[in-house]
Structure 1
Amino acid sequence: MMPLSWPLLSAYFLVGMLAIAFGKCPTQCRCTSLEVICSCKSGDSFILSEIPANHFTLSISNCKKVRIHGTPFNRGSFDRFVIQDSSDVYIADISFFGVILIRRLKFSNIANLTLGSLYNLKTDIFEMDNVTIAVLDRGVIPGIAELKEVRITDSHIGVIRTGALHFQHESLVDIIDTSMDHMEKNSTCIDQVQTFTIRNCHISSLDEDAINLMHVGKVVLSGTSIERLNEGSFLADSVGEMIIVRNVFSRVGSNAFYHMQNVVKLTMSENWFLHVEPNGILLYLEVVEPAFVIENNQFSCDCNLLWLYQDSGYHKLDKFFNSTCLAPETLAGISLKDVTPLITVMDQCLGFKAIDEKSYTTRNGYAQRNTTVRALSVNSGENLGSSSAMFVTIFMFGFLRFACI
């Protein structure tokens, strides 16, 4: 028998080493030297408990159910780990101890995602696109280390528990086109992040101190509707620049923005404030323009806005009163400088009126018309007397039109 040549021995040795390194290829997967591609061709369930290491890509797609448990990630590194186009994905509390790095972790097109804590996970980029999560529990994201970028887009998150979103030392955190039902107290902590953006989102309610901003370079809140802001929903400490533009705030609780004292530069413009409780936009007024630019916003000019005219501190912000009335229709488009509360001899607020009775043109898409501005109650249940009955009728008609826009 002829002895084996050195090249052949080397080949056998290399194959053996590769087999040890790669491990067993999981069922329903195709493994190459670069990729592990797993797909449920008939929409079946997929269970991952062990994977071969040292591949560039791990992809799981087109499964009815995906279950990941145990310690499938215990060595090596990946360029990408992607789970996509699946109905129900459950990832138990798992440890990534021994994994050098997963450079990009992405969840995409998942109807129901349940995440446990991801301990010792090191990843550069964390992405969720078109994902639904009923509850995001405490400790899920904080288990991820060395994050550089976080992107959550086109997704829905039901409840964000306290301590669920804790981002530290990242360069970029973006939440875009995403709806969130409720954010608990201290649910979102943004610490030493260069840029934090919430854009084109919908948030139903935020508890006190729901969003904590500490040592953040730039914060952008734009194009977002927030149904309820409670007291101190935003806590800002050492924020370089904060931009709040083109948002709709349905109800702003008292002192909702009170804890934003350590913002170097604030721009708040082109927002709609439908209902603002007393001192709802209370700020530290010793900081004046140009550091704070608050202008071109729209308010419901009702008795809830009375505090604005009672606190002389807001007059330090020259551009603040460049904002206009959003409602009632009879005052729509009039500058806050040109309206005043209507107070009876019994100190009862009946609404707002124009300072001077004059003709004006509404600007919010209504037909062009001239009218004499009269004092009207914003609260339709108020009794203004028989002499004002006609104007109450006009107001109610206008309010209904406004509410249907």
Structure 2
Amino acid sequence: MKLVKTYGRTAKAAAALIRSIEQRGAVSTAKVEPVVRKILADIRKGGDAALRRYAAKFDGLQKTQTLLVSREEMETAWHATSPELQAAMMIARGNILAFAEAQMPKEWMISPADGVGTGQIVRPLGSVGCYVPGGRYPLPSTLLMTATPAQVAGVERIVVCSPKPARETLAAAWLAGVTEFYRVGGAQAIAALAYGTETIAPVNKIVGPGNLYVTAAKMLVSSECGIDMPAGPTEIVVTSERGSAAGIAADLVAQAEHDPETLAVLITSNEALAKSVAAEVKVQARDNNVAKQSLAAQGAILIAETVAGARELTNRLAPEHLTVDSPADLKWVQNAGSVFVGDYAPQSMGDYVSGPNHVLPTGRVGRVRGGLSVLDFVKIITVQEYSRKGLGKLGPHAIALATAEGLTGHAESVQVRMR
């Protein structure tokens, strides 16, 4: 990891490094867009035949395999899963359910004037597609994180796509009660979910993380199908003045092992802590090749001149995962996907069992939105109700505004009801 002071002789080099981190963007899909556009067009035109062709090429789909995974196959996977993993999945699902239920927005009405009622009703999306990666590691946790809040929201049709689904992922699907699961992945799965094929009906929205091709596909179909967010490589920032060096290093290594492109940063004004963490990272990443590669390329320890400077820098970076020292630190946090508080809150807990979602904004998207939640699966529809008395109270003001804008039809639509 690069260790740089943001002040003094290294201030210029630190400023350049920080700018490069700030400009990282959620993900750069330009280099894969031509390939992805062709896949999208082929599947839109060729349906199942094109989908199977790409699935055979990229996902290893066999001619004898159906696109749809049967519930029996999921059940078999569940029974072949160890009791320890079954218990872990059940705990995780229970916590995700409870958290999503607490997040669920409420319906309400207020009365801004006598005879006037305004409020909101909450309705689920009709259908969603949950993308579950199946590359370097099996990700049953991602299936639970995407399907469960959709169920809490009341989404009627929940579709899961995952290439070469691992037994663990199929077991999680059985536990979650998934009934529509397709063994396809990549841009071809996104195309099928967005446009539909003979076998897969299109969905209203696609959620979940994926590689560069998946992300590019999601962004390209977003004009016709809702998406949650573009998801780039994993990010971790730890902002600490007094944390455990071993614990901080462990979190940096843990997130860095996701991907060679992971961004891993410690921000502190405590130089002794910075040096201790740097030493610990070397030891802990020694036998973890992916983490070692990631930390060498994107790892950084930034030593700020003051605590306030460390905090300001943290908000500028708007990280996906952020660890801070104490609950008091939450007051200054403005931009982050998910926050972990104290020495006993390893970020890995959020990846699996805490309950808050692990599908989180990267590339400074944390400046404008939080992680995936039950809110991604509902629509909040506003409601307005007037009695004759209420219209008489507020109507003249609407007429005045419509007249000022030169919209006489608007004014008349109110006036005709007041005569």
Task: Give TM-score scaled by structure 2 length.
Answer: 0.20
Q: Which has the higher strand share?
A: 1
Q: Which has the higher helix share?
A: 2
Greater Cα radius of gyration, structure 1 or 2: 1
**Which one has more relative contact order, counting CA pairs under 8 Å at least 6 apart?**
2
